[in-house]
Amino acid sequence: MPLLGIDTGGTFTDFVLLSDESPNLRVHKVLSTPQAPEQAILQGIHELGLGDCDSLLVVHGSTVATNAVLEGKGVRTVFITNTGLRDLLTIGRQARAELYNLNPAPVTPPVPRELCLETGGRLSADGSVLETLSESDLHTLRSTLKKLKPQAVAINLLFSWIDERFEKRIAEIVPDGMFISRSSHILPEPREYERGITTWLNASVGPLVQGYLQRLCAGVPQAQVAVMQSAGGTIDATQAGEEAVHMLLSGPAGGLAGAQYVGGLAGCHRLLSFDMGGTSTDVALLDNTQSGDLPLTTEGHIGSYPVGVPMVDMHTIGAGGGSIARIDSGGLLQVGPESAGADPGPACYGRSITGINMQATVTDANLLLGRLRSDAFLGGHMTLDENAARTAIAPLAKTLNLSPEHTAQGIIDVANEHMARALRVMSVQRGVDAAQLTLTSFGGAGGLHVCALAEALEMSQALVPAHAGVLSALGMLVAPRARYLSHTLLQQLSAAPDDVLLHDMQQAVVMLTKRGREDLIKEGVDADSIRVSPSVDLRYRGQSFVINLPVVLSADSKTSTNSQTTGQAMASVIKQFHERHAALYGHSLQQPVELVTLRVKVHSPPPQALTLPSANETKSVRKTPVLAHVTLAGIGTKVPVYTRESLSSGISGPALITETISTTYLAPGWLCQPDASGCLLLSKT
């Protein structure tokens, strides 16, 4: 069965095809269609000759949910909560973006007050009923919903993570045709604000995601379509629309899955990754010497909104190949976060009308410096216009009283500093010495900046993976089928937990496992291949934030609870918690430890095992042929250009290494050695 990985980015949509007919991967790129992302996907499928394929498995990452949230273009949504809490999402945590600004600008509430409805059905912290949900309450809610005519309804009642019956009852009376999101289903955990925001986000973007996926599936009726989730596992498209909030970091999660995979092939297990695309750069720390799983967080944000569901732990900034350069009011050069996107794109794409939308971007600067070859972009399928790039940069150069080339270098330097700052957030600011890591670059623009960023962080090793320009799409092919489920218990732990708590934990694992297995089996996953990975969120009593740690608990409902074994597992995880707290924060406390949430990852390997063909199987050890010599700004001599496919031995910088989907700039003082998997290992001399 052909397996197609797709990553929809802000500028390009990337394709990686693995078929039975050829051991080699086929890669492809088309310009994205942000207003209707499925159009670019269907175009790429047609151009790859898969339009009439009888059997095709598509795994893709989508930006539909992310863009809708960031641009505030979610559907009209009603928020239902308990009496007295209609302003919950507006008040939030009362955190100010600017601590010392005494006159902050008013912030638009997530949901207009007239769309926030109150009702009965209030529980106390122990799950007892303080206020019942009457038939009169339900009748009033239904009548109001008919008048307001929203497209979606978000239901978030207090302590519904203990008892979901009132939320279920409200969902039953919602008029037909309205998308329903229940907090007790989406995020059955404490923190009513975070739970409420997550539930509202799911409702707000759910109809958009459902519509997009339906149009995509209709365009390839013979294919099985799956979607990457923010936590790094895939889910069938027919189920993805109901849990759209799990897709907010869909594409970046694919990139991390791909980086982890190729890093293992290259023997590099501690990676500091940066994925530089056309619109943004995603940065993450991957340590495969630990669990081998992607690093996850439940404290992530999309824009200003907290998202409580598990997602890959990364830092994103608005710096990419399409980031626009400008002069600010103080006369300083700035780059990003605004992007030229796919339309009109950088000036050198030739999609702008002369004099209109001719804004200089990072891609234009790289072209003007000679680091991009105008006749070899996308393997020659797209020609870049150097004159247009020079025209776009000229006004900035005139204002700064610099040559166009010096201005272009300034644009690159500013963009590099933005990315270096993001890399420090994920390494130095977490107490990790970046010099002990391997900088791993991917994305269409990453290879042009990898050496400069490594030098900025005093790193001596870097890795440019095989297929770096489409690594997020490649990551879709190696991602497991998975569900990430949780159940809150909120109990104090001791060195010898009581039998009641141990029994509750065991039952929770069994319940979550059963739910996850049923979902995966519905997708056609072999039951024998399903694996279960439990973990627990722990904290010191009185703390607000938690540390997640793996724990050994049986997921077999037929196995009776062994109190001694389970107790030993909990005693071990408490010890790990103290050690982890000391490693993260520099101290541990003699305080009771609380179990907050029990989590279960139910997962299965990807449908097909992916093996990258050896890049050097047919190459003899000889000197790598030079394709051409070019002039680069700031380099006094002609610089050799190599094709990545022809690299058979080590080379030294300065040099350009071109391939169909990306270019790597090997800076002076750097060595490049290709390995058997096709990765480029860079080292600073």
Task: Please indicate, yes or no, whether residues 514 and 583 belong to a single structural domain of this protein.
Answer: yes
Pick from 16-30, 100-114, 414-428, 619-633: least confident: 619-633
Structure tokens at 491: 């109990």
Structure tokens at 642: 């190599």
pLDDT at 526 over 50: yes
Contact 156, 193 (CB under 8 A): no
pLDDT of residue 408: 96
pLDDT at 453 over 70: yes
pLDDT tens-digit readout, 129-161:
999 999 999 999 999 999 999 999 999 999 999
Amino acid identity of 418? H
Amino acid identity of 72? G
Query: Residue 574 falls within a domain, yes or no?
Result: yes
pLDDT band (50, 70, 90) for residue 505: confident
Amino acid identity of 442? F
Amino acid identity of 58? V
pLDDT tens-digit readout, 509-523:
999 999 999 999 988
547: CATH? 3.30.1490
Amino acid identity of 410? G
Task: Please indicate, yes or no, whether residues 58 and 77 belong to a single structural domain of this protein.
Answer: no
Structure tokens at 452: 């400069």
pLDDT of residue 196: 96
Q: 595 CB contacts (<8 Å, ≥6 apart)?
A: 489, 490, 491, 492, 493, 501, 505, 536, 537, 538
Dihedral angle at the C-alpha atoms of 285, 291, 293, 297, nearest 10 degrees? -60
229: CATH? 3.30.420.40
Contact 153, 181 (CB under 8 A): yes
pLDDT at 557 over 60: no
pLDDT of residue 625: 82
Listed as own residue / partner, the contacts of 17-26 with beta carbons closer than 8 Å and 24 or more positions apart are 17/48, 17/50, 18/477, 18/608, 18/610, 23/613, 24/613, 25/467, 25/474, 25/612, 25/613
pLDDT tens-digit readout, 60-81:
998 788 878 877 889 999 999 9
pLDDT at 600 over 90: yes
Report the distance separating Cα 220 and Cα 43, nearest Å. Answer: 11
Q: Residue 635: CA atoms inside 13 Å, Cβ hemisphere, count?
A: 20
Q: Which of 168, 185, 205 marks a domain boundary?
A: 205
pLDDT at 444 over 70: yes
Pick from 191-205, 320-334, 598-612: least confident: 598-612
Q: Give the residue among 157, 203, 204 at the shortest CA–CA distance from 184.
A: 157
Q: Give the residue among 475, 443, 431, 453 at the shortest CA–CA distance from 285.
A: 431
Query: Residue 50 falls within a domain, yes or no?
Result: yes
Q: What percent of the chain stands above pLDDT 70?
A: 92
Length of the chain counted residue by residue: 685
Contact 407, 396 (CB under 8 A): yes
Task: Please indicate, yes or no, whether residues 123 and 84 belong to a single structural domain of this protein.
Answer: yes
Task: Please indicate, yes or no, whether residues 594 and 657 belong to a single structural domain of this protein.
Answer: no
Task: Please indicate, yes or no, whether residues 199 and 214 belong to a single structural domain of this protein.
Answer: no
Structure tokens at 561: 């609870």
How distant is the alpha carbon of residue 543 from its chain centre?
28
State the total domains in the chain: 4
pLDDT band (50, 70, 90) for residue 618: very low
Task: Please indicate, yes or no, whether residues 87 and 195 belong to a single structural domain of this protein.
Answer: yes
pLDDT band (50, 70, 90) for residue 326: very high
Q: Which of 184, 205, 226 marks a domain boundary?
A: 205
Task: Please indicate, yes or no, whether residues 47 and 86 belong to a single structural domain of this protein.
Answer: no
As beta bridge partners, residue 14 has 7, 29
3-state class (DSSP) for residue 353: coil
Task: Please indicate, yes or no, whether residues 85 and 133 belong to a single structural domain of this protein.
Answer: yes
Query: Residue 115 falls within a domain, yes or no?
Result: yes
Task: Please indicate, yes or no, whether residues 86 and 177 belong to a single structural domain of this protein.
Answer: yes
Task: Please indicate, yes or no, whether residues 75 and 199 belong to a single structural domain of this protein.
Answer: yes
Query: Residue 194 falls within a domain, yes or no?
Result: yes
pLDDT at 475 over 50: yes
Question: Which alpha helices (H) appear in 162-249, and where do they start and end?
Answer: 165-173, 183-186, 192-219, 237-240
Domain range for 22: 3-69+210-250
Q: Which of 12-16, 126-130, 355-359 holds the top average pLDDT?
A: 126-130
How many Å is the maximal CA-CA distance in the chain?
A: 84
3-state class (DSSP) for residue 454: helix
Query: Residue 36 falls within a domain, yes or no?
Result: yes
Task: Please indicate, yes or no, whether residues 80 and 166 belong to a single structural domain of this protein.
Answer: yes
Task: Please indicate, yes or no, whether residues 189 and 216 belong to a single structural domain of this protein.
Answer: no
pLDDT of residue 620: 47
Query: Residue 333 falls within a domain, yes or no?
Result: no
Query: Residue 413 falls within a domain, yes or no?
Result: no
Structure tokens at 261: 């995979």
The DSSP secondary-structure symbol of 327 reads E
Report the distance separating Cα 680 and Cα 664, nearest Å. Answer: 9
pLDDT of residue 570: 79
Contact 78, 146 (CB under 8 A): no
Q: Give the residue among 123, 169, 158, 117 at the shortest CA–CA distance from 141.
A: 117
Report the distance separating Cα 598 and Cα 546, nearest Å. Answer: 12
Higher per-residue confidence, 64 vs 536: 536
Cis before 188? omega within 30: no
Q: What is the mean pLDDT of the chain?
A: 88
Query: Residue 395 falls within a domain, yes or no?
Result: no
Residue the block writes with tokens 């997530």: 110
> Mean pLDDT over residues 519-534, rounded?
90
Dihedral angle at the C-alpha atoms of 508, 510, 513, 515, nearest 10 degrees? -80
The DSSP secondary-structure symbol of 24 reads S
185: CATH? 3.40.50
pLDDT at 397 over 90: yes
Pick from 431-445, 600-614, 628-642, 646-660: least confident: 600-614
Question: Which alpha helices (H) appear in 241-331, and where do they start and end?
Answer: 250-265
